[in-house]
Structure 1
C-alpha cells in the first residue's frame, strides 16, 4: 500500500484522492461526463499533491508559493466536503421505505442529485485547472526541499524515565528540598511560599516536579496544579481539591464553594502545593484564598517567567529562586546522553561541532533535548554539520523567542509528514492539558490523519505515532504503565509554536470570549471554543460554523442545533461544564459525525435517534450519569471504539450486532443477564481490546455453581477467539478460582496483554508458554509452583510480568537461566502467605531492569537469618523495590535492635550496596496519628504500627521517585 504522506496542507489531499477513487466506482456518478470529470480531478490533484509534499518540507516559503499552497488546500477541503455530503445523501437513500409512489419520487430526487453533483464538480474543476496553471507558471519545483529521516531511538522505555532526569538538576533540587525541610525555632511551622523564576524552557516545571515527587510523602496531602497564560481559576481550584484528597464531585461547584471546601479540608494539615506557570498576580489572589496557615509547616512552590510576579507570590523577599541555564559541561553531558545513550561517549571525529551547537543552545534544556533527538544515533559528521549550519544564522540574532522558535522549527520539520500533522493537531488543546492517549488517537482517526495498513488497525498505527512523538521529545509522557504512556502533555514552548503554525496553515482556529469578530480570509475548518457562549457564536456569524468539520469546546457548551448546517465530523464536549440532555437533542442531524465525546455528570441519557449517525466511529460517554444505552446504538455499524462507565447496561442482543467494534473498555457484569452477554463478544471478529469487570453477586447453592460454570465457559470462549490483542478481566465473583486448562487460543495467537486482576487462577496453563506475541501478563495464582515459573519463562516475547498469590509458593522458587525470561524488563511478585522463598541465580532474567517484591517475614526467617534473594545476580537491574510485612511474627520478635525485619532488610541492603553505581534510599510510612515506636538500622528507620510492622524501601542505580 502506498504510504500516506500527510501534513497540514497535504493532510486533506490524501483522503480526498481516496474518496474520488471510490466515487468513480459508484453508480450515482454514471451521469454523462461526470465520471470523466472526477477522473480528471483525481489525476490533476494527484500531480499537485507531489508539489504539496515538497513544499511541506520548506521552512520559509515565498509569498507566491504560500498563496498557491493555501488556495489549493482550501479547494481540497471544499471538494472533500462536496464528496462527503453527496455520499451521506446516498447512504440515507437506502433507508427510504419501499412503495411505487415513493420509488418514483426517489428516482426523481436521485436524478436531480446526480445533476447537482455534476454541476458542483464542474465548478471545482475550473478551480483545479486554474491552480494547475499557476503551479506551472511559478515553476515550484525549483524550490529546495529539506528532507531528513531521523533514526528513532529504540530505548523508548528508558526515555520515559530519562525525561524527568535532566542533568544539572541535582544541585538546585537539593537547595529547594533543604529550604522546604529546614527547621528554625521561630518560623519552621509557618506557611512559606517559594517562587522559581526563569525564562521559558529553562526547566522550572521539571525542577518543581522533581522536588514535589521527592518530598510529597512527608506531607499530609499534596497537589501539583498548573495555571497557564489564560487561567480558568475554577478549574484550578477543582484540580487542587482533587490533588489534595477531596473525593467529592466538585464539577458543579462555584468558586466560593470550592474555596470553602478546600479551607475546611486543609485545616490542621501539613500540605504541599506546587502552582506551576503563573503569568500574573491576579489569579493568585483567588488561588491563595483557601490556603490556610495553621502553623503546621505547610509549603508552597510556584513557578513563573516574571521576576515581578515571583516577588508578589513569595512569602518573603528572599524566597525567590532564580533559575540558571545549564553549565557548558552539563549541557554537553545532556546532549551526548540523549543522542547516544551515554554521557561519557566522545567522538573525536566530530571535532568542535558539538561544542559550537551547545554554545548556540546557550544552556536551555528544552533546546538541547530537541536538538539531541534530531541527532539520535547520528554518527556522521555531515549530519552534525547540517544541524549546526541550519541553526547558525537564526541563533546569531539577538537572543529571545527567535532562537527557541528556530530550534523548535528544526525539530518540527524533521518529523515525518504523518506524525507532523498529528503533532500539529495538539494545538487544539489548552496549555497544561493532560491529553488521554486513547482520546487523542481516536480523534486522529476521525480527522482522517491515519491510513490503514495491512495487518494493523488504525489505532495501533496511531499508537506508534504517539510513541514516536514522545521519543522525539515533542510531547511528555504521563501515567506510564507497562512501559507505555497512557496520556501526554505538551510543553508550553512547543505548544506556542504549534499554535502559531496551526494559524498560519488554517489548521485550527481557536476563539474565546474576548474576540469580537472573526477576520480571517479563510473558512474555519477546525474550531476550538474557549468559554464562548451562544451569543458569541451568533456575533461571529454563520461563517464560523458553515464549513467546520471539527468542533472542540472548553467551558460553556453550545446547543448541537447550532451545528446543523456544518459538515461536522468531530464533536468533543468532554470539557464542557453546565451541560444538560438538551444540548444533545439535535445530535442526529450531524450526519457526517465520526467522533462524539461528552463527560458531564449532568448528562443522563443519549438521544433515542443517535442510531442515525451512520458514520460514527468513536462514542465516549464516560463520567456521565448515563446508565443505559438506547437500542439505536445497535444501528451504528461503523462504531469501532466505545467508552462507557462500568455500570452502563446494554439492550439485550445489542453487543453481537456491533460487528465493527474494535475496542470496548469497562464492560461491567452486574447481573445474570449481563453475564450471558459475555458470549456475544466472542462473535466480534474485529474486537481487539476488551475490559471486563464482574461485580455480580453469586447466589448460594447449585444456582451459584451453575452461574460460575457459565462464566468460565464464556471467558474460555473469549480466549479461544484468537482475535483479541488486549484482554483485562477484573474482580473475583464468589471467591471461585478460574481454571484455564480446558480451552486455549489456537496458534498463532494475537494476544499481547492479558491481565487478571483480583481473579485467581489455579495454575498457569501449559498453553500460555506458547503465546508468541504476549508482552504483558498479570496473574493472581492460588499457589505459585516451580512449574508455573517454567511455563511463564517460556513465553518468548514477555516484557512485563506481575504475579501475586495469597496461597504462597509450592516449595522454593528459584529463578535460574534455564527458566527463560530472556526479554523480561519488569518483574513483580507478591507473596503474603509464606516467607522469602525466592532466589535469583547467576544469569537469570538477563534483561530485567525493574524488580518489585512484596512478601511477609516469618518466624523461621527471624530465627535462621534472611536471604539476600540473589539480587546481585540480576546484571541489568536499575530499580529494586521491596515491601516487607511481619504480620506472621510474634510481637516479641520485633522488639529491640535485633528484630527479624531489620535483619532481612539489612541483608538485602548490604548486597545492593555492593552493586556498581548503586544507591539506597527509603520510603517511610507516615501515620496521621503519628508513630511512637521507631527502630533504626544504620540509616534505616522502621515505623511500627500496633502489633504489625510494615516497611518499604526502594533502591535504584540512577534516581528515585516517590
Structure 2
C-alpha cells in the first residue's frame, strides 16, 4: 500500500514543477536572488520527483522513506498553493494589462518584492532540509521487506472443493454449453472470462477446466502475475502440456517456436488465468493460436474488458462474470460462518443480511468477512464488523487476502490514474457518480493536463473508461460502451477510502472533529452526516489548505473564508443552502469548480472568480442568469435547469464555453438566442429543451423556431446535440406540429457524433442526414417511418447506435438493408405493430436489438409475421416487448389480442433460437401505456363484431 502514497506525491509534483518554471522571474533585475532560489528549488524538486517515482511501484517502504515521502508531498502541496495564490493576486488586478506586465509591475513595489522573496526563501529552506535528509538517510532505492505471507492470494481458489462452491453451476454450464456449440469448429477457440477482482473468475475457470480437461489430449492451467515473466509463463504452459524438451536457457523466442511445433498436432485445453495486458496475450497467442486444426480450446480470465476483447477477437467469446445472487450469497456466507449445516442463528439474521448487502454478491468479500465472524455468535460483535467493515477489509489480518486482491488491481494502474481513483472516495456509499461531473472535478484538481490534439475532457473520459475496463468502477446504464455514470463497489470504496485517509488525500470531517486525523493540514474535506443536526465548523489553520470541499451535511455552520485555496466546492446536494452561505465566494480566487443547490440568486460578485471553469446550478431555484457570468473568462462547462432564462447577447459573450446543459426555450421569442451558439467555436456539447407553447403560437413562428434550431448544426465543432420537448406525454406531443429538418444545413464535414431529438416528432428523415460522416449515435422520433427514411439512416457509415420511435408505425412493409456498422438498434412503435423485415446481410454487426410494438391481427404486420431476425447472425442480446391489453376490461378484444401477441412472440422466439451467438433473450408482454390507442385494423375488427361483443362480451375473460 506504500506505493499508493508515493504515487500521490508524484502526482502533486508534476504540475508544481510546470508552474514553478513558468514564473517570469527573469523580467526584473532586482529579483536575481529570488530567481536563484527558485532555480534551486526546481532542481531539487526534480531530483525528489525522480526518487519518488522509483518508490512508486513498491508496496512496502521503510519508516524513514515513509516520513520523507510524507514531508515532500506536503511541501509540494504548500508550494503549489503559494504559487497559485501569488499568481491569482497578480491576475486579479482589474485592468487591461497582460499577466506578465501585471507581475513585473507588482514586483517593482518593495513590499511585494520582499513578500515574494520571503515566501520563496521559506520554501527553499524546507526543500533544502528535505534534500539533505534524502542524502543523509540514503533514501535512493527501497530495500525489499520480508512479508510474513508471500502466498499468491488467488491460490486457494485453484484448490477449492466443489462442495464448498456456491453459485458456480450456472456460469460453468454456460461456458461448457458454448464450447459444445462450437464443437464442430476445428480451429482453436478462445473464451475470455471478465470481471472485477474477487468475483470468482479463477474459481469458475478452474471448475470448467476440471470438467473438460479429460476430453483433450493435453491441458494446462497457468496463472499470470501482475509483472509477468514471459519465460516462466511459457515454461508453465510447456510443463502442463507435457513438453519437456527445452533447455533451461531457452529464451522467449525459442520457447514459442518449440511449443508451436509441439502443439501443432495436439488437441489441447489451456487456461490462462489473470491476464493483465494485451501485450502479454499477444505473446501467448503466438503459441496457442497456431495452425492447429484439432478443436483446441483456450480460456482466459481478466479484469480488463479491453484485454478480454483482445483475447477473444477472431470469433471468440467474452463471458462477463456476474455477482452472486442474494440467495447464493447467503448460502456461501452461512456455510463459511456456521459450518456445513449453514444455519444462521435467528438473532443474527438481520445483521447478516446487512453485511451481505454490503458485500454485493462479491464471493471474495463474502468469504473474507465470514472469516472474521467464524465462531463469533454475539450480535454486538457482528454489528461491530458491519460498522467497521471498511477498515476491517483493509487492515485486519484476517482480511489480508481481500486487500491483496484489490492491491493487485490498484498497483497495476498507471500513476496518473491512481489519484483519479482515490478521488472517488469523496462520494458517499452507493452514489451514482456522473461522468461529466467527475471529470470536471479531476480537471479542477489538476489531475488532468491538456495534450496536443486532445482536450482535458477527452483525456478525462479516457481515464474514466480505463477505470471501468479494469473493473474498479461499475458502469451504470451502459449501452455498447457508452457510459454516462458509474458506481463504486462498496468493497472497493472501503479500500480506496482507507488509502486516501492514510495518505492525507481525503479527510472526513468527523475524523478532524474527533482528533483522528494525524496530519496538521487537510487537503480535501468531506462534511456529511445522516442526521438533521447542524454541524459547526470553526475556522482553523488545519483547514486553511483544503483544496476540495464536499458537503452533504444538514445546514453546516461554515465560513468559506476558512478555505482560501479551494479549487472545488460541491454544494450541489445541500438542499438547505441559502444565499448567505455563499457570501464572500468571490474571495476564493483559485476556485475552478462550483456546484450549488436551492439558492434563488447567484452571488453578485461571482464574475470575480476568474479561474472558474465549471458552474453547476441545476439544483438551484434561480430563474435568470446574471450578466456577471459573462465575465467568467475561463468558464467552459455550464449546467443549468430549463427554467433559467438568458438575456439577448449573453450566449455570444461566453467565448470559452464548451458545454451547456440545459438551454430552455420558453417561447418563440426566446428561440432567437439559439443563433448565438454558432459564434461559440469551442462549444462541443449542447442540450436544448423546448417548452409547451406550440398550441397558441402561429405557423410562421413555428418555422422561425425550426430555423433557429437549424443554426445549431452549422457549428463546426459541435459533437453532441440534444433537443427535447418538456413533456414526456406521447399523446400530448403527437398533437403538436412536427419538427421539420429539411431547412437545416450542417457544415461539411459535420462534426456531430451524437444527435438526440426526443419527445419532439420530426415529419421525416432529411436527406442531409446521410452526410453525417462522424455520427455514432442517433435518437429520433419520426411521425411515420418510410422506406426512404430507412434507406437514409442505413447509409450512415459510422452509425453504431440507433434509437427510433414512431407513433404511426410504418408506411407499408419495409425491408431493412444497410447499417453496415450498427451495433445497437432500439425500435419502439406505440400505435401499431412493426412492419419491418431485416433482409439477409443487413446489420451484419448488430449485437443488441430492442423491439417494442403492438399488434391486433396479421394485417398490422402487412400480412406476414416474419421479422427476419434470424438473419442478424451477430446478435448477442435481444429484448422484445409486445404490447397487449392484459386486464383491460374496457377492451372487447383484449383476450383475442393477447393470444395473437403471444403467437407473434413464439415466432420471434423460434427465430432467436436459430442465432449462433445470442446468449440473452427477454420476451415480455406489457399493457398499452396510453389506453385504447387504436389503429385502422383494430377499428375494422371492432366494427365487425356483434353489439353484445363490442360492449364487453369478452371483458370477463380478459
The aligned counterpart of 1:717 is 711
The aligned counterpart of 1:869 is 867
The aligned counterpart of 2:622 is 626
2:204 paired with 1:330: yes
Q: Distance in 2 between matches of 1:48 and 1:814?
A: 67
SS in 2 for 1:759: strand
CA contact (8 A) 1:571 1:593 kept: yes
CA contact (8 A) 1:333 1:344 kept: no
Q: CA deviation at 1:913?
A: 3.2
The aligned counterpart of 1:194 is none
TM score, norm. by length of structure 1: 0.67
Q: Distance in 1 between matches of 2:7 and 2:86?
A: 26
The aligned counterpart of 1:761 is 762
The aligned counterpart of 2:778 is 777
What does residue range 525-924 of structure 1 map to in structure 2 within 5 Å?
525-531=523-529, 536-538=536-538, 542-558=540-556, 561-564=559-562, 566-599=564-597, 601=598, 603-698=599-694, 704-731=698-725, 735-816=736-817, 819=818, 821-832=819-830, 835-857=833-855, 859-861=857-859, 866-885=864-883, 895=895, 899-916=899-916, 922-924=923-925
The aligned counterpart of 1:255 is none
Q: Distance in 2 between matches of 1:617 and 1:734?
A: 41
SS in 2 for 1:621: strand
CA contact (8 A) 1:558 1:583 kept: no
Q: Distance in 2 between matches of 1:852 and 1:167?
A: 29
CA contact (8 A) 2:763 2:783 kept: yes
CA contact (8 A) 2:754 2:776 kept: yes
* Distance of aligned partners of 1:107 and 1:83 in 2 relative to their CA distance in 1, 3 Å threshold: closer
The aligned counterpart of 1:455 is 453
The match for 1:413 among 411, 415, 439 is: 411
Q: Distance in 1 between matches of 2:653 and 2:546?
A: 32
Q: Distance in 1 between matches of 2:954 and 2:61?
A: 69
- Once the two structures are superposed, residues 536-589 of structure 1 have per-residue CA deviations (whole angstroms, 9 ceiling, x without a partner) of 532xx6123211111111213445634345211111122335332211122122
CA contact (8 A) 1:866 1:904 kept: no
The aligned counterpart of 2:35 is 35
What does residue range 76-91 of structure 1 map to in structure 2 within 5 Å?
76-91=76-91
Q: Distance in 2 between matches of 1:335 and 1:728?
A: 49
2:491 paired with 1:502: no
SS in 2 for 1:133: helix
CA contact (8 A) 2:661 2:688 kept: yes
The aligned counterpart of 1:259 is none
Q: Distance in 1 between matches of 2:762 and 2:199?
A: 55
Q: CA deviation at 1:455?
A: 2.6
The aligned counterpart of 1:70 is 70
Q: Distance in 1 between matches of 2:301 and 2:758?
A: 53
Q: CA deviation at 1:743?
A: 4.1
The match for 1:374 among 248, 267, 276 is: 276
Q: CA deviation at 1:761?
A: 2.8
Q: Distance in 2 between matches of 1:386 and 1:876?
A: 23
- Once the two structures are superposed, residues 151-185 of structure 1 have per-residue CA deviations (whole angstroms, 9 ceiling, x without a partner) of xxxxxxxxxxxxxxx9638599xxxxxxxxxxxxx
Higher relative contact order, chain-length normalized (CA < 8 Å, sep 6+): 1
SS in 2 for 1:547: coil
Q: CA deviation at 1:649?
A: 1.4
The aligned counterpart of 2:401 is 403
Q: CA deviation at 1:351?
A: 4.0
CA contact (8 A) 1:861 1:900 kept: no
Q: CA deviation at 1:678?
A: 1.0
Larger radius of gyration: 2
Q: Distance in 1 between matches of 2:624 and 2:215?
A: 60
CA contact (8 A) 2:535 2:555 kept: no
Q: Distance in 2 between matches of 1:82 and 1:727?
A: 41
Q: Distance in 1 between matches of 2:217 and 2:557?
A: 62
SS in 2 for 1:792: helix
CA contact (8 A) 1:720 1:744 kept: yes
Q: Distance in 2 between matches of 1:347 and 1:135?
A: 59
* Distance of aligned partners of 1:876 and 1:120 in 2 relative to their CA distance in 1, 3 Å threshold: same
CA contact (8 A) 1:835 1:861 kept: no
SS in 1 for 2:849: strand
The aligned counterpart of 2:387 is none
2:130 paired with 1:134: no
SS in 2 for 1:527: strand
TM score, norm. by length of structure 2: 0.68
CA contact (8 A) 2:661 2:687 kept: yes
The aligned counterpart of 1:202 is none
Q: CA deviation at 1:327?
A: 11
* Distance of aligned partners of 1:328 and 1:93 in 2 relative to their CA distance in 1, 3 Å threshold: closer
* Distance of aligned partners of 1:44 and 1:770 in 2 relative to their CA distance in 1, 3 Å threshold: farther
The match for 2:473 among 472, 475, 482 is: 475
Q: CA deviation at 1:776?
A: 0.6
* Distance of aligned partners of 1:884 and 1:922 in 2 relative to their CA distance in 1, 3 Å threshold: closer
SS in 2 for 1:622: strand
* Distance of aligned partners of 1:778 and 1:132 in 2 relative to their CA distance in 1, 3 Å threshold: same
SS in 2 for 1:10: helix
SS in 2 for 1:711: helix
Gaps in structure 2 of 5+ consecutive residues: 146-165, 173-195, 228-271, 288-299, 304-363, 372-394, 726-732, 933-948
SS in 1 for 2:10: coil
SS in 2 for 1:901: helix
Instruction: Select between 786-795 and 608-617 the one with higher mean Cα deviation.
Output: 786-795
Calculate the aligned-residue CA RMSD, in Å: 4.6
Instruction: Select between 716-725 and 374-383 the one with higher mean Cα deviation.
Output: 374-383
SS in 2 for 1:400: helix
CA contact (8 A) 1:855 1:885 kept: yes
SS in 1 for 2:679: coil
* Distance of aligned partners of 1:925 and 1:19 in 2 relative to their CA distance in 1, 3 Å threshold: same
CA contact (8 A) 1:640 1:660 kept: yes
SS in 2 for 1:666: strand
Q: Distance in 2 between matches of 1:28 and 1:422?
A: 39
Q: CA deviation at 1:874?
A: 0.6
Aligned residues: 728
The aligned counterpart of 2:331 is none
CA contact (8 A) 2:880 2:923 kept: no
CA contact (8 A) 2:504 2:519 kept: no
Q: Distance in 1 between matches of 2:834 and 2:419?
A: 52
What does residue range 215-230 of structure 1 map to in structure 2 within 5 Å?
none
Q: Distance in 1 between matches of 2:73 and 2:83?
A: 16
CA contact (8 A) 1:893 1:900 kept: no
Instruction: Select between 413-422 and 23-32 the one with higher mean Cα deviation.
Output: 23-32
- Once the two structures are superposed, residues 192-229 of structure 1 have per-residue CA deviations (whole angstroms, 9 ceiling, x without a partner) of xxxxxxxxxxxxxx9xxxxxxxxxxxxxxxxxxxxxxx
Q: CA deviation at 1:45?
A: 1.9
Gaps in structure 1 of 5+ consecutive residues: 147-165, 173-205, 207-323, 337-341, 358-369, 932-943, 951-962
Instruction: Select between 348-357 and 79-88 the one with higher mean Cα deviation.
Output: 348-357
* Distance of aligned partners of 1:168 and 1:627 in 2 relative to their CA distance in 1, 3 Å threshold: farther
SS in 1 for 2:796: coil
CA contact (8 A) 2:687 2:723 kept: yes
SS in 2 for 1:690: strand
SS in 2 for 1:598: strand
Q: Distance in 2 between matches of 1:689 and 1:864?
A: 41
2:116 paired with 1:117: yes
* Distance of aligned partners of 1:857 and 1:526 in 2 relative to their CA distance in 1, 3 Å threshold: same
SS in 1 for 2:552: strand
CA contact (8 A) 1:560 1:585 kept: no
